[in-house]
Amino acid sequence: MKKISVLVLGSTGMLGNAVTRYLSKNSLLNIIPTHRNDQYKLSCNSIKYDLLHDSLNILPRNIDYVINCIGVIKPFVFQNIETTIKINSLFPWELSRWANLNSCKIIHITTDCVYSGQKGKYVETDPHDALDIYGKSKSLGEICSEAMVLRTSIIGEEIHSYASLISWTKSQKGKSVDGYKTHHWNGLTTLEYAKCCEK
């Protein structure tokens, strides 16, 4: 039986790493991860790809699915706003055109930060009302007609930085960490996101 080929873009980030590791356990799948930095390469078949410098045409064309795990997260938005817009807003559309030409399907993550939170009790069809650059950049990158778009917050462990909640909290050994008592969060762990992709 021919394995289903799955290209995971951004396998060295928090989400891509979890997706790659989980899906690699499925014997029916041929996982092809990409990495930007050789230092964090996950497997021998990983492809070096940096969307800021490389053409999508260096990626394999005979794949069934591409899971886009590349994105600039909120803590890094202001390091370079132009890069944030390129990665979060423009790249998903470029990827969509490439996938269409190569007859493969896209699974794309976006965020509930496309909503400002001012209205409350949002439903999937509500117009986006983000007020910040991060939310707006992710909103512009929602390629609804060309991909399976999963809009959620995620939580997980990073492999080489401490910007996201779990990794940052674990790095605060011996310190007290402030939190919330009445906050309701409805996102997914990176592992649960990977399981959704598998389905």
Region 45-65: mean pLDDT is 93
User: If pLDDT is split at 50, 70 and 90, which confidence band does 59 have?
Assistant: very high
Q: What is the mean pLDDT of the chain?
A: 89
> What single-letter amino acid sits at 193?
Y
194 pLDDT exceeds 90? yes
8 Å CB contact between 50 and 40: no
Q: Identify the structural domains of the chain with CATH numbers, from first to last.
A: 4-198 (3.40.50.720)
Measure the CA–CA gap between 66 and 88, rounded to whole angstroms.
16
73 pLDDT exceeds 80? yes
Region 18-27: mean pLDDT is 95
Side-chain-facing half-sphere of 158: CA atoms under 13 Å:
14
**What is the bridge-based pairing of β-strands 148-151 and 105-110?**
parallel
- Please choose, from the candidates 32, 35, 30, the residue with its C-alpha nearest in 3D space to the C-alpha of residue 11: 35
Measure the CA–CA gap between 130 and 132, rounded to whole angstroms.
6
